[in-house]
Amino acid sequence: MGEQNNVKRSVKLLNKGKKGVLRMIFGRFGIVLLLLLLQIVVLIGLFFKFRYLAYNYVALTGIFYFIMIIVLINSRHDDSSKITWLIIMLLMPIFGAFLYIFTTHDIGHRVLKRRVSEILEATHYSIKQDKNVIKEVESKCPELSDLSYYVNRTGCFPVFSNTDVEYFPLGDCMFERMLEELENAKEFIFLEYFIIDEGFMWGEILDILERKAKEGVDIRVMYDGTCEFALLPSKYPRLLKERGINCKVFAPITPFLSTHYNYRDHRKIMVIDGVTAFNGGINLADEYINKITRFGHWKDAGVMLKGDAVKSFTLMFLQMWHIDEKLSDLSPYIDKSFTLDLSMPENKGFVMPYGDCPLDSDNVGESVYMDILNRAHDYVYIMTPYLILDGEMAKTLMFAAQRSIDVRIIMPHKFDHFVAQTLAKTHYKPLIDAGVKIYEYSEGFVHSKVFLCDDKKAVVGTINLDYRSLYHHFECATYIQDMPCIDNIKDDFMKTFEKCEKVTYETIKKEKWYIKIVGNIMKFIAPLI
């Protein structure tokens, strides 16, 4: 009865009718998908129409192919992507070359790239690294010191102390804390999410946001353009504006200009008054808190930060918020003079929130994961929903296991995407051969993105072990060193292992034949998925 009352109180701005396939067909998603398919047909048609203008097609394609080989070899793509493009151009020389140019030169995204670069450069020194903190890091954690220099060079991501971190093993319990903290907001609330979907979770949050807006709290909401593509109508920002909530859509998908689903804002950030922040894999939709069931029990994870490290998440949000407007003075939001709760323990450890921008040459997310694996002494435990690895990450995982490091990976038993499932399983045998232990979560779907190493360090954030997260998306995470919450993260891993089935050679042999076939076929285009 209580749950029913809660559902009734949840705010909804839309009257949703058709769902599933029908909604996809008759909504914006269907229209845009149709236009994107038309785009492909037009490109293929142009290719076949004009190829006959060449007097010597074989010679022309040979020249094209030779040129593209040179271009690819000297490009900054990872080796797996290079091989994929070489195969495509081998099968379709001229069309493949034009497709490569069209997709990799980001037609339609050049304004975005230029603006992001300008903002990142202008705000690179917005948060100063506390010299006392870095000296303490150098003396206590030399490994973190080395990593921090790299991470801070790629963006404005200092190392902090004086920050409390609380770990949440499920979206269900993190949601409860979100509501509590939102109710305490006095000055501003910033929300940046990959997915927002109407339902109980977003309805409860929206109810608080509306009330806080009436109290004069600065409310800003931003979600990725794929939401507008599939979940929310283009009028949704206007509906929120009518309720006193500023809202933006990051990089709406534009037919004929959006060359790929690259540069999506995959971050999940909630900042309250500059002193509280939430980060992790949890989007604002009902499946993330197990209010609805999609793939069995939804296992997700997140963290709440209180203290100095919140500055980094505040800056990350404001950087993205100003993509389409003039950059204003950010210091009133970042340099908040809030008096922290004196009862909050001043932990001896360190916290380093960081972001990863796909528009530069630094693959920060992958580099941090590799650093953890390469410096491990005892174990590395990993939770990830996807396992679509490039050669470097696969080698790093296998090398760690071959050094007698206890490397364990928890994967879903029920996947949310068939292709992702088939691709993940292609990696199982090579990893197991090297000594990596793989587990599948028997109760459903794992969406957590968590690394834990040696009872000392952990990463909780939005970064999956797949090409999209490691190379193509805006991402963020929280690096944690020697904090009390490390024990809670390990406890979560140990309890989750008990709910998993270990993958063995026998398990692999029993895998359905079509999953193996599809996985092996799709593997060569995995970098482009």
- Please spell the DSSP secondary structure of 252-273, one letter per residue: ---TTT--SS-S-B--EEEEET
How far apart CA 247 and CA 380 sit, in angstroms, is: 39
Structural domains of the chain, count: 3
Beta-sheet strands, E only, within 129-252: 163-168, 188-193, 218-224, 246-250
How far apart CA 167 and CA 386 sit, in angstroms, is: 22
Domain for residue 6, yes or no? no
Looking at 318, 348, 378, the residue that finishes a domain is: 348
Residue 33: per-residue pLDDT: 55
Amino acid at 162: N
Looking at 104, 124, 156, the residue that finishes a domain is: 104
Q: 307 and 388: one domain?
A: no
- Model's pTM, two decimal places? 0.87
Relative to beta strand 379-383, strand 406-412 is: parallel
| Tens of pLDDT, residue by residue, the chain (529 residues) | 444 444 445 788 877 644 444 444 444 445 555 655 666 676 677 666 665 555 555 666 667 677 777 777 777 666 667 777 777 777 766 666 666 766 666 655 677 788 888 999 999 999 999 999 999 999 999 999 999 999 999 999 999 998 999 999 999 999 999 999 999 999 999 999 999 999 999 999 999 999 999 999 999 999 998 887 778 888 999 999 999 999 999 988 765 555 445 788 999 999 999 999 999 999 999 999 999 999 999 999 999 999 999 999 999 999 999 998 888 889 889 986 555 454 445 557 999 999 999 888 889 999 999 999 999 999 999 999 999 998 899 999 999 999 999 999 999 999 988 988 999 999 999 999 999 999 999 999 999 999 999 999 999 999 999 988 998 899 999 999 999 999 999 999 999 999 999 999 999 999 888 888 888 887 777 766 6
Domain for residue 9, yes or no? no
Amino acid at 80: S
Q: 41 and 80: one domain?
A: yes
Domain for residue 353, yes or no? no
H/E run at residue 502: strand 500-502
A 10 A CB-CB count for 65 gives 17
Domain for residue 32, yes or no? yes
Looking at 81, 104, 127, the residue that finishes a domain is: 104
Q: 98 and 115: one domain?
A: no
A 10 A CB-CB count for 121 gives 9
Q: 499 and 424: one domain?
A: yes
Q: 335 and 432: one domain?
A: no
Amino acid at 206: L
Domain for residue 142, yes or no? yes
Among the listed residues 297, 510, 286, 505, the one whose alpha carbon sits nearest the alpha carbon of residue 412: 297
SS3 470: helix
> Considering just the CA atoms, what is the radius of gyration of the chain in Å?
24
Domain for residue 333, yes or no? yes
Q: 219 and 241: one domain?
A: yes
Domain for residue 7, yes or no? no
- Label residue 199 left, alpha or beta by phi (over 0 means left) and psi (-120 to 50 means alpha): left
Q: 286 and 251: one domain?
A: yes
Residue with tokens 């904090």: 483
Q: Cβ(247)–Cβ(236) under 8 Å?
A: yes
How far apart CA 240 and CA 236 sit, in angstroms, is: 6
Q: 116 and 94: one domain?
A: no
Q: Cβ(508)–Cβ(428) under 8 Å?
A: yes
Q: 39 and 122: one domain?
A: no
Relative to beta strand 268-272, strand 276-280 is: antiparallel
Task: Enter the tokens of residue 424.
Answer: 């993940």
H/E run at residue 345: none
Domain range for 74: 20-104
How far apart CA 25 and CA 18 sit, in angstroms, is: 10
Q: 77 and 123: one domain?
A: no
CATH of the domain at 219: 3.30.870.10
Task: Enter the tokens of residue 527.
Answer: 């970098």
DSSP letters for 366-387: HHHHHHHHHH-SSEEEEE-S-B
Residue 95: per-residue pLDDT: 66
How far apart CA 347 and CA 520 sit, in angstroms, is: 48
Q: 119 and 230: one domain?
A: yes
Domain for residue 4, yes or no? no
Task: Enter the tokens of residue 10.
Answer: 């949840």
Relative to beta strand 406-412, strand 350-356 is: unpaired
Residue with tokens 């100003």: 322
Q: 392 and 491: one domain?
A: yes
Residue 126: per-residue pLDDT: 92
Q: What is the DSSP secondary structure assignment for residue 343, as one 8-state letter?
A: T
Residue 452: per-residue pLDDT: 98
